[in-house]
Amino acid sequence: MPILEHLWIIPLLPLLGSALNGLLGWKWPNKTVHSVALAATGLSFACALEAVREFVANGQQLFRKEFFDWIVAGNFRAGFDLQFDQLTVVMVLVVTGVGFLIHIYSTGYMAHEEGYFRFFSYLNLFMFFMLILVLAANYTLLFVGWEGVGLCSYLLIGFYFLKKSATNAGKKAFIVNRIGDFGFMLGMFLLFRTFHTLDFTALFAQAGPLPGEAMGQFGTLTVACILLFVGATGKSAQLPLYVWLPDAMEGPTPVSALIHAATMVTAGVYVVARSHILFTHAPTAMYVVAIVGCATAFFAATIGLVQSDIKKVLAYSTVSQLGYMFLGCGVGAFSAGIFHLMTHAFFKALLFLAAGSVIHAMGGEQDMWHMGGLASKIKVTFWCMLFGTIAIAGFFPFAAFFSKDAILFAAFNHEPGGKALYAVGLLAAVLTSFYMFRLIWLTFFGQKRYDEHHVHVHESPLNMTIPLMILAALSLTGGWFALPALVGGKDYFSEFLSPVLGSGEIAGIENAHNLELTLSGVAMLAAVVGLIVAWRMYAKDVKRGKSEGLHKLLYNKYYVDELYQAAIVGPLVWISQNVLWKVVDVGVIDGTVNGIASGTTAVGDRVRQVQSGNTRSYAVWVLIGALLVFGIIFWPIVHPALVGGMR
């Protein structure tokens, strides 16, 4: 059966798995539950591979099919239309592939947790929505996936719903995302108003020939792009809406790996890349994307430097790396952004899963200051973590070396202000290397800072370590598509994406190849600097120092949460309580309702006096009524006579 003709089957399989587990899973043993979930995602991955094979066999033609109408109103049509192009290939393979590995890992990690079926049901549901998001052929359907993954994110962050902090984190993620989604929807409305369609093919065909807007000009396209980007900042945790992602670490670790590192949070990058035709017409919006991305990359990295929770370090690292992706998109190197998205999915999923394995080994401990010296005890986890760390730090020939390098190279050559973006990006790379090796040293080396009588460190089972090893291998090899570019050959990744995203070649640079080599060397140097500094500071036995000055500022995340609390949440709560509740709700709304009720009662009290129950008073009323009728009948006769008589 040609899968490409039946693309719906790829998202449908996880939905089926989710429904089965959600409805029947409560009475199934764990084995059945995860068999269903694994079969659903595994088959989905297999279908995706087959679809890719067919896609390549068809000569990489954009495949697009309208399955059924969803909303038809006037000249607006939102259909269940799916499409398959080079960008989709990358996204679908990442989502189903990494998703499948994380499903396998979860069977080990979640084995002793309550609500096993619930977890897999949500996880499969997430896969469904994520696949809808990347396969959708119009913004409306994309938005369905967009909201759906947000829902699953909420459900999974709050998975341990008995923990107050987990449910709060879930709500925070959901609400912060709403702010972004508001911008996204406004962007969609604006696009529809301008182009009268939200279909990718039709919309980009219309937008393509339009003249680009000038730098600094806020035309329709620029505003639409910035609004879409507001949505992306929410979903992809960029400044200023990144605050939900670190809190999202309350969820189980596989969730952090799948949703909050590898797939969902990259949806914003995907949307920007998908809309790149619009963005290239709006240089101002591009610049905003680049600056926000660059600032986030640096800002989040600085917070990551001092965190003590192993997952928090990785969370801020994720925010920072997402910033890199946006930086890449913002300077026009969309394929580099997507490249980093893919390699990041590998190594960050790896890092999170390895961190999960560490936490598993430590019996739930997440504070790195309570670890130390684990390298010899959990060897597999250690080596996988090390692979991930080397990959993210950007050492040759690991994945991020190529992808981060491509982004920084594009930033360096961007005009105007590219050099500054490059400098900040490079600094963030140093910080990345530093905080990751700090994590390694604090966790795996040095003296034991935990009580050996209470914590029995043990290596994780095979179903957890095998996905780790696969991801470690991918973290090593994931960047090799661009390997030939180093020796003057082609970058196969960006060439593969070029039919969708354009060539991304920067023309008119002399000795581009030499420059790229030089910049690669500089990036390597940055990673080495980070490594050495971390080694100097943490390789020896360290005590947790007192937090003061800059360290305190960073440790408390620049007090951004407190700032938001004071500047936004506080006033909002105050207005809600003192105006909306006590004035509008109690005064106006309740007042109106109660007023109508008491008014009716008062009128009724008067009127019911008429019905006294006294027969004779009824007779009087009948009499009065009769007289009135007589009056009405005879008045026209009597009246002229009276008037005439007076004359």
Partner 1 sequence: MVPTNYYVLLSAILFGLGIVAFVFKRNIITIFMAIELMLNAVNLAFVAFSQALGKPDGEVFVLFVIIVAAAEAAVGLGIIILTARNRRSLNVENVNLLKL
Interface ranges with partner 1 (CB under 8 A): 608, 611-616, 619-620, 623
In the complex with partner 1, the residue whose CB is nearer, 589 or 638, is: 638
Phi and psi (nearest 5°) for 111?
Answer: -55, -35
As given in the structure block, the two tokens for residue 6 are 């039946």
DSSP 505-567: --TT-TTHHHHHHHHHHHHHHHHHHHHHHHHHHHSS--PPPP--THHHHHHTGGGHHHHHIII
In the complex with partner 1, the residue whose CB is nearer, 420 or 619, is: 619
Count of Cβ atoms closer than 10 Å to residue 463 Cβ: 15
In the complex with partner 1, the residue whose CB is nearer, 586 or 620, is: 620
Contacts of 109 (CB under 8 A, 6+ apart): 252, 253, 254, 356, 357, 360, 460, 464
Smallest separation, CB 598 to partner 1 (Å): 21
What residues form DSSP beta bridges with 136?
A: 82
Of 231, 336, 371, 225, give the one whose Cα is nearest residue 286: 225
Smallest separation, CB 641 to partner 1 (Å): 17
In the complex with partner 1, the residue whose CB is nearer, 558 or 618, is: 618
Smallest separation, CB 581 to partner 1 (Å): 41
Of 181, 321, 178, 182, give the one whose Cα is nearest residue 260: 321
In the complex with partner 1, the residue whose CB is nearer, 453 or 608, is: 608
In the complex with partner 1, the residue whose CB is nearer, 596 or 620, is: 620
Smallest separation, CB 644 to partner 1 (Å): 21
Of 296, 334, 427, 315, give the one whose Cα is nearest residue 87: 334
As given in the structure block, the two tokens for residue 104 are 């396998």
In the complex with partner 1, the residue whose CB is nearer, 568 or 620, is: 620
Phi and psi (nearest 5°) for 372?
Answer: 105, 140
In the complex with partner 1, the residue whose CB is nearer, 454 or 608, is: 608
Contact 448, 372 (CB under 8 A): yes
Q: Judging by beta carbons within 10 Å of its beta carbon (0-12, 13-18, 19+), is residue 623 exposed, middle or buried?
A: exposed
Smallest separation, CB 607 to partner 1 (Å): 12
Smallest separation, CB 611 to partner 1 (Å): 8
In the complex with partner 1, the residue whose CB is nearer, 594 or 611, is: 611
Smallest separation, CB 609 to partner 1 (Å): 8
Smallest separation, CB 642 to partner 1 (Å): 20
Q: What is the CA angle 559-147-63, rounded to 5?
A: 125
Smallest separation, CB 621 to partner 1 (Å): 10
**What does the buried/exposed string (b/e) look like for 515-538 if buried means 16 or more CB atoms within 10 Å of the residue's CB?**
ebbebbebbbebbeebbebbbeeb
In the complex with partner 1, the residue whose CB is nearer, 376 or 617, is: 617
Count of Cβ atoms closer than 10 Å to residue 60 Cβ: 16
In the complex with partner 1, the residue whose CB is nearer, 545 or 613, is: 613
Smallest separation, CB 614 to partner 1 (Å): 6
What residues form DSSP beta bridges with 64?
A: 83
Smallest separation, CB 597 to partner 1 (Å): 22
CA distance 279 to 210: 12
DSSP 446-495: SS--S-TTT----PPPHHHHHHHHHHHHHHHHTTGGGHHHHTT---HHHH
Of 296, 311, 396, give the one whose Cα is nearest residue 358: 311
CA distance 40 to 61: 28
CA distance 513 to 487: 8
